[in-house]
Amino acid sequence: MNPAAPSSEQADLSWSSAEPRQAEAILRTLLRAVEHSPVSIVITDAKGNIEYVNPKFEQVSGYSRAEATGKNPRMLKSGESPAGEYRELWATISAGETWRGEFHNRRKDGTLYWEQASISPVLDEQGRLLHYVAVKEDITERKAAADEIAHLAYYDTLSALPNRRLLLDRLHQALAASARNKRQGAVLFIDLDNFKILNDTRGHDTGDLLLAQVAQRLIACVREEDTVARLGGDEFVVMLCDLSENVGEAGAQAKAVGEKILDTLNKPYRLAGQEHLSTASIGVTLFKAPHKTVDELMKRADLAMYQAKAAGRNTLRFYDPQMQAVVSARASLEADLRQALRERQFLLHYQAQVIGRGKVTGAEALLRWQHPSRGIIYPLEFIPLAEETGLILQIGLWVLETACAQLAAWAARPETAQLTLAVNVSARQFHQADFVASVLAVLEASGANPQRLKLELTESLLLDDVDDTIAKMMLLKAGGVSFSLDDFGTGYSSLSYLKRLPLDQLKIDQSFVRDVFSDPNDATIARTIVALAQSMGLKVIAEGVETELQREFLASEGCHACQGYLFSRPLPIAGFEQLLTIAAAADPSGD
């Protein structure tokens, strides 16, 4: 032990009992420590009027010592702190105890700041109150950092809207409130239409500008008590609370807000100096406690949004309980479709294309799915899903390979060597960058004669980037492949692009053939298509021919090529080749 160190008894002695010089030295040391303290120190009299403040107080508050002396500390009150905190403070220090807490104060220049404070009463030896001493630390930056962390946890940085985490929390609260007040609420799931195109063509910075503007427009469409949140990407959610107790009225209220949102989001945007138009698809579901789960609520709104997408976008749809069954069936179908590709469950049927009264010149290859439990499934049921999921690319390649292999097999036999085979091409397949190379590679690998292959394209496919379409068609025509325009007359048939396309054939859609005798308009359309084809030097074929009268009418107008049930249904390859044998036996001359 250091012999110079004071004993515990000496250390416990009050400095007031020390020698006058020693006491004076202690006071100077204490004053120096207070003056240079990194925290604010305020001493008041028993009535709470300020007697002393240190330099740190002056620095933090903006008030000089002269301005503060004689004033009450309430001069710093911002009005932001609850009155209950001050009642608790006075109750504590009046009982002779130290109060600890936080103040939201206002500086002399009007700015707000946070202080963490400790306020203690100072009593004399008889227990009489002499002073109050407050020790306060400026924690504004610390509070701001904490607020920023909390904001990042609960808010989206781009739009400043609540994020998924905060939205789910508010949905839980809304369900609890619904249980108390018995009122309906609604969730609107909003997805921008074709947002990816904007990102891909003008960049993500421009996409972010759109998202920020969408956020502001959504806020303007709802009440202050409602919630607008961004889930991420181009997905937003609006939660409406305190709607009518009546389901019908609540639905009408939600629909009105949804339509207001659609109208607002449809107005032009100004992005980086350029005007941009955008639409949205909205799914709506109502809720009222007791409800299963928040997750189920979000799932229903999401399903309704996809129904709006399927309905053509830029529209609103309400959740329908049947929707869940449809989605489940779709998921099952997609899984089966992927399995079908792995296990080669697809096959081609062939429908004869004839001239005159029945001379077979070729066929159209029609896809069928031999499902292991459901039997034959027709394209209308699974092709839209294949397009949406991208599986159409693998399916389309299989169809092309199978068709070309069949052409090569026919070429080896004199009686079938002159047959042509028409293959349908999907828009997604055609617009692949390597489509031309893929077709030529399949032809080369199979050994099929390109002049016997006819690709059937739809009008909607041709309208997307006409120049690229023409370039691809020209490359394939140079390789010997021919083209037929399928379902002609049902789409946007513009002569301005039609005359530019290197087509070989127009195909009259069956919808015009079916009622050619009962609907004068259909007869006129069929007649016009034949005349148009002849004027442009194109061949023409009619599909859906089921009666001899239909065939005769078409022949009288100059259309001698047909396909339809009058001649044959689509048949497996064995059945089609048997048809060829029967046709050849019935007309040995081949006419």
How much of the chain, in percent, has pLDDT values that exceed 70? 93
Does pLDDT of 461 surpass 90?
no
Which stretch of 1-10, 45-54, 241-250, 391-400 has the lowest confidence by average pLDDT? 1-10
Summarize pLDDT for 548-570 with one digit per residue, the tens.
Answer: 999 999 999 999 999 999 999 99
**Are 117 and 166 part of one and the same domain?**
no
**Are 479 and 526 part of one and the same domain?**
yes
Tell me the CA end-to-end span of the chain in Å, nearest whole number: 129
327 — phi, psi (to 5°)? -65, -40
Decide: 269 and 275 in contact? Cβ < 8 Å.
Answer: yes
Residue 202 lies in a domain: yes
Residue 380 lies in a domain: no
The domain of 84 spans 15-144
Q: What is the pLDDT of residue 11?
A: 39
Mean pLDDT of 385-405: 94
Q: Give the chain's domain count.
A: 3
Summarize pLDDT for 264-279 with one digit per residue, the tens.
Answer: 999 999 998 999 999 9
Does pLDDT of 178 surpass 80?
yes
Rounded mean pLDDT of the chain? 89
Q: What is the pLDDT of residue 17?
A: 52
Q: What is the pLDDT of residue 491?
A: 59
- Tell me the C-alpha distance between 435 and 392, whole Å: 13
Residue 270 lies in a domain: yes
**Are 173 and 137 part of one and the same domain?**
no
**Are 22 and 133 part of one and the same domain?**
yes
**Are 172 and 309 part of one and the same domain?**
yes
Domain-terminating residue out of 89, 116, 144: 144
pTM of the model: 0.59
Does pLDDT of 354 surpass 70?
yes
**Are 107 and 194 part of one and the same domain?**
no
Confidence of residue 113 (pLDDT cuts 50, 70, 90): very high
Mean pLDDT of 160-176: 93
**Are 395 and 544 part of one and the same domain?**
yes
Q: What is the pLDDT of residue 6?
A: 42
Residue 327 lies in a domain: no
Does pLDDT of 492 surpass 70?
no
Q: What is the pLDDT of residue 18?
A: 53
**Are 424 and 531 part of one and the same domain?**
yes
Residue 228 lies in a domain: yes
Does pLDDT of 358 surpass 60?
yes
Residue 25 lies in a domain: yes
CA distance to 29, 253, 309, 329, per residue, from 286 (Å): 71, 11, 19, 24
287: CATH: 3.30.70.270
Does pLDDT of 588 surpass 80?
no
509: CATH: 3.20.20.450
Mean pLDDT of 222-243: 95
Token pair, residue 233, equals 């990407």
Q: What is the pLDDT of residue 4?
A: 40
Residue 1 lies in a domain: no
- DSSP at 568: -
Q: What is the pLDDT of residue 314?
A: 95
Q: Is 416 helix (H, G, I), strand (E, B) or coil?
A: coil
Residue 488 lies in a domain: yes
Confidence of residue 36 (pLDDT cuts 50, 70, 90): confident
133: CATH: 3.30.450.20
**Are 405 and 551 part of one and the same domain?**
yes
**Are 87 and 172 part of one and the same domain?**
no
- Tell me the C-alpha distance between 375 and 462, whole Å: 34
* 554 closest CA partner among 363, 354, 419, 360: 354
Mean pLDDT of 470-493: 86
Which stretch of 10-19, 259-268, 315-324, 413-422 has the lowest confidence by average pLDDT? 10-19
Decide: 425 and 461 in contact? Cβ < 8 Å.
Answer: yes
Mean pLDDT of 131-135: 93
110 in the Ramachandran plot: left (φ > 0), alpha (ψ -120 to 50) or beta?
left
**Are 291 and 423 part of one and the same domain?**
no
Q: Is 255 helix (H, G, I), strand (E, B) or coil?
A: helix
Domain-terminating residue out of 290, 319, 348: 319
Does pLDDT of 493 surpass 70?
no
Q: How many residues does the chain have?
A: 591
Summarize pLDDT for 496-534 with one digit per residue, the tens.
Answer: 677 888 999 999 999 899 988 888 998 999 999 999 999
* 52 closest CA partner among 123, 130, 124, 157: 130
- Tell me the C-alpha distance between 477 and 130, whole Å: 105
Q: Which residues touch 91 (CB under 8 Å, ≥6 apart)?
A: none
Q: What is the pLDDT of residue 494?
A: 62
Confidence of residue 185 (pLDDT cuts 50, 70, 90): very high
CA distance to 55, 89, 305, 491, 533, per residue, from 537 (Å): 98, 98, 47, 21, 6
Sign of the C-alpha dihedral computed for residues 136, 137, 138 and 140 taken in this order? negative
**Are 131 and 165 part of one and the same domain?**
no
Q: What is the pLDDT of residue 324?
A: 61
